[in-house]
Each structure stands twice: as C-alpha cells, then as structure tokens.
C-alpha cells in the first residue's frame, strides 16, 4: 500500500471534507470530543483517543428499527469520514463488525453506516493516563482496519493507505502529497517504539505472564467483584462509554400515524437488565452483573468470536463516577490467581 508525505493537515482534511462530512476530535477540557469539521475549524492532531467511543458513529444511542403496519427498510447513508481514530478504536470496530456484520443475522442499519465510513486513523503521541492497550495486544499505532493512517513526524505527517478506498484517495489528490523519505519512516518507527515503551512501563503491574482470559475465567468465586462494587453508583457510564459494549433493547412506541419499534443502547449493569416478566433475574446482585460484564469482555466473547472484547482504551476508567478502575480490578484478580496457583503447587508437592 502507498505511503506518502504531507507537510500540513489542513489541506488534506479540506480535501476529505469536500467529498463527505468529516468528524474530527477537538479538545474539550482535558479530553477530545468529536465534532463536525468546517473549513474554519482549527485542526488538532489528537495525541490519544477521543473520550467519546467510535460506536456513536455506527450505532446511534436511539434509532428507528421497524414500523407497523407498513414495514420499513434502512435508509441510505451518505459517506462520512472520521479522523484521528487510534488502534483501540479500530479494534473496537472489529468487535462490532463481528456482532453486527458477520453473523447469520446482520444488522442492516449498522452495515449501511459501516460501509460508508471512511476511516482516517492516526498514531498515538503518548500513552494516555488510563491507557492499557498493550495488555490486550493493542498498539499505540494502527495495525489494520483503516483507510488512511496518519503518523506525526517532525516535518509533517506520514500518510499510509490501508485499503483500496485509501489508495484511491491518495491517487485522486496526488498534488497534495509528496514522497516520503526513509528518514521519516525511521522517525515514525522510533516514535511508535517510544510510546509502546511508555505503555509497557506504566502498565508493568498488569503483565502477569498468564492470559487474562485464564485469570478472569477462574475468578468465578472471587470476592473482588462484590468488594469493587461497593463504590459503584450504578450510573452505567462504563458501558455507555465503552467502545465495544453494544447491548441494546427494543421497545415499541406509538407515533402519530404508525407504530414504531425503536432500538436503544442498554447496559448490563442495570438492575432489571436480564429480568423476565415472571420475576426471575439471574443477576440481581451488582457484583454478579460486574462479573458477567468482565466475563463477557475477557472470556465469553473470545470463546465465541476469537478476539478480545476489551481493547484497553481506558475509557471506563475515565468515565467511572464511582472511581472503579478496571486496571485495579484486573491486578487484584491476577494476584488472586497467582496465590491460588501457588497454593495448588504446594499441595502437589
């Protein structure tokens, strides 16, 4: 795939915005939040992922899913582009693709948006405060799943195509770009290695040398979940802000001259989430709901789809009103696992 150089971002983004709606991250307080790009927008290269999850572009919080008595098919979606997505974001799209685009039953609303999304990813410039992607096989730079990827170097930006759509864009706008030099590519690799090292240093405590799946799977009887949930105020922010959480519920509503079936985000942390009309509820206890959430992230999804459902973006850590830190929970579970393992080893002796 083509790799080229551009000295400034603005003409590049203007070219994108000429073709389709473009969304870029803008600093809001200490976080980045997506907003629509206008030619007057000041361009910023986001150093880490945005605060808002990329799923917002693919699965709206609330959408019309069916109508009655006349049936309804999804409307066409105009092409749109998102700039500044990081490796964790791309991996979260991979998770959503598995569920909504690759199963026997496909979600036509998701697919319409997904097919029309132009992904301009970028390298991370630092390890964010809550980032732990390296623990779940993520990288601070995109590996796959992008149309174009942008890496910042001293003189400007290295732009790499990752799909035919990306190649076509570069070709079409050849006048914007110039040749990339070996020195620039070497600089890109150095930058990447430096951020990777940062991540490894700050998350050293989370490297157990044992797959997280094994640790979480064996934590069925652990008290950690109940203990950790003592500060949970059940705000559900962890699930709303998580880029891979995709629970939703269907509900029916009366409109003026038709009936509608709506689809809306839901959260497995909600008390009545799994309850049935008869009154049964397998996860009445908050700790059980949190355990199920982690089992889904680290065990069940992997069993079903072959990839991790946690991308290590750390959004749940940033967003948690009760101060629950997934890294801390994993660290405690890891320690418990090691203790149990040592005990077992002693018994064997």
Partner 1 sequence: MNQNPYQPINGEIVEIIDESPTIKTFVVVPEGDFKFATGQFVELTLPGVGEAPFTPSSSPAETKKMDITIMKAGRVTGLLHECRGGQKVGIRGPFGNGYPIDDFVGKEVYVVGGGVGLAPIRSLFLTLVDRVKDFKAVVCRFGARTPEDFIYKDTLFGPWQKIKGVDMKLTVDKANGGWKGPIGVVTTILEAGDVNAKNAIAVVCGPPIMMKFTTLKLLELGFKDKNIYLSMEKNMSCGIGKCGHCMIGKYYVCQDGPVFTYEQIKNYPNIWD
Residue 259 beta carbon to partner 1: minimum distance, rounded to whole angstroms: 4
Does 76 engage in binding with partner 1 (CB under 8 A)? no
d(CA 263, CA 109): 11
Q: Is there a contact between 296 and 271 (Cβ–Cβ < 8 Å)?
A: no
User: 213-242 mask for partner 1 (x: CB under 8 A)?
Assistant: -------x----------------------
Count of beta carbons in the 10 Å neighbourhood of residue 282? 12
d(CA 330, CA 172): 47
Does 284 engage in binding with partner 1 (CB under 8 A)? yes
Q: Which of 155, 252, 341, 342 binds partner 1 (CB under 8 A)?
A: 252
Span from 2-10, 248-256, 319-327, 331-339 in contact with partner 1 (CB under 8 A): 248-256
Does 303 engage in binding with partner 1 (CB under 8 A)? yes
Does 101 engage in binding with partner 1 (CB under 8 A)? no
Q: Which of 195, 295, 310, 311 binds partner 1 (CB under 8 A)?
A: 295
CA distances from 142 to 33, 38, 90, 121, 265 (A): 20, 26, 7, 7, 27
Q: Which of 56, 94, 214, 288 binds partner 1 (CB under 8 A)?
A: 288
Residue 137 beta carbon to partner 1: minimum distance, rounded to whole angstroms: 20
Does 106 engage in binding with partner 1 (CB under 8 A)? yes
Residues 145-204 interacting with partner 1 (rule: CB under 8 A): none
Count of beta carbons in the 10 Å neighbourhood of residue 73? 9
d(CA 60, CA 76): 15
Residue 230 beta carbon to partner 1: minimum distance, rounded to whole angstroms: 20
Q: Which of 17, 299, 316, 330 binds partner 1 (CB under 8 A)?
A: 299
Beta bridge partners of 161: 148
Tokens of 206: 């989370």
Q: Which of 235, 247, 286, 307 binds partner 1 (CB under 8 A)?
A: 247
Tokens of 93: 């799209």
Span from 83-91, 106-114, 117-125, 135-143 in contact with partner 1 (CB under 8 A): 106-114
Q: Which of 266, 297, 320, 337 binds partner 1 (CB under 8 A)?
A: 266
Question: What number of chain residues touch partner 1 (CB under 8 A)?
Answer: 55
Exposure string (b/e) for 158-174, b if CB count within 10 Å is 16 or more? bbbbbbeebeebbeebe
Does 273 engage in binding with partner 1 (CB under 8 A)? yes
N-terminal to C-terminal alpha carbon distance within the chain: 56
Residue 76 beta carbon to partner 1: minimum distance, rounded to whole angstroms: 14
Residue 238 beta carbon to partner 1: minimum distance, rounded to whole angstroms: 15
Among candidates 78, 94, 101, which has minimal Cα distance to 301?
94
Does 268 engage in binding with partner 1 (CB under 8 A)? yes
Does 100 engage in binding with partner 1 (CB under 8 A)? yes
Does 257 engage in binding with partner 1 (CB under 8 A)? no
Does 44 engage in binding with partner 1 (CB under 8 A)? no
Q: Which of 15, 21, 43, 66 binds partner 1 (CB under 8 A)?
A: 66
Span from 45-53, 95-103, 115-123, 203-211 in contact with partner 1 (CB under 8 A): 95-103
Binding residues (CB under 8 A) for partner 1: these are: 65-69, 71-74, 99-100, 103-108, 220, 246-254, 259-261, 263, 266, 268, 273-284, 288, 291-292, 295-296, 299-301, 303-304
């Amino acid at each position: 795939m083509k790799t080229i150089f551009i000295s400034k971002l603005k003409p590049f983004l203007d070219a994108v915005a000429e073709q389709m709606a473009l969304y870029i991250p803008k600093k809001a307080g200490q976080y980045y939040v997506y907003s629509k790009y206008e030619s007057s927008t000041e361009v910023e290269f986001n150093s880490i992922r945005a605060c808002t999850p990329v799923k917002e572009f693919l699965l709206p919080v609330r959408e019309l899913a069916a109508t009655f008595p006349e049936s309804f098919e999804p409307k066409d979606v105009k092409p749109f582009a998102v700039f500044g997505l990081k490796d964790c974001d791309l991996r979260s799209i991979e998770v959503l693709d598995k569920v909504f685009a690759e199963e026997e039953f496909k979600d036509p609303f998701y697919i319409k948006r997904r097919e029309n999304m132009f992904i301009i990813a970028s390298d991370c410039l630092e390890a964010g405060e809550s980032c732990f992607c390296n623990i779940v096989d993520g990288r601070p730079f995109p590996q796959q799943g992008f149309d174009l990827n942008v890496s910042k170097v001293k003189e400007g930006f290295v732009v790499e195509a990752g799909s035919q759509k990306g190649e076509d864009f570069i070709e079409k706008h050849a006048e914007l770009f110039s040749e990339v030099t070996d020195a620039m590519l070497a600089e890109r690799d150095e930058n990447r290695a430096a951020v990777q090292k940062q991540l490894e240093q700050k998350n050293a405590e989370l490297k157990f040398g044992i797959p997280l799946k094994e640790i979480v799977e064996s934590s069925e009887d652990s008290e950690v979940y109940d203990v950790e949930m003592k500060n949970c105020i059940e705000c559900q922010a962890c699930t709303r802000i998580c880029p891979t959480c995709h629970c939703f519920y269907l509900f029916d509503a009366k409109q003026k001259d038709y009936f509608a079936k709506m689809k809306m985000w839901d959260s497995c942390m909600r008390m009545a989430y799994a309850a049935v009309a008869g009154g049964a509820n397998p996860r009445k206890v908050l700790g059980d709901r949190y355990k199920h959430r982690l089992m889904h992230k680290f065990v069940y999804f992997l069993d079903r789809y072959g990839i991790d459902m946690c991308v290590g973006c750390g959004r749940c850590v940033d967003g948690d009103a009760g101060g629950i830190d997934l890294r801390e929970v994993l660290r405690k579970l890891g320690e418990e696992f090691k203790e149990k393992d040592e005990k077992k080893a002693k018994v064997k002796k």
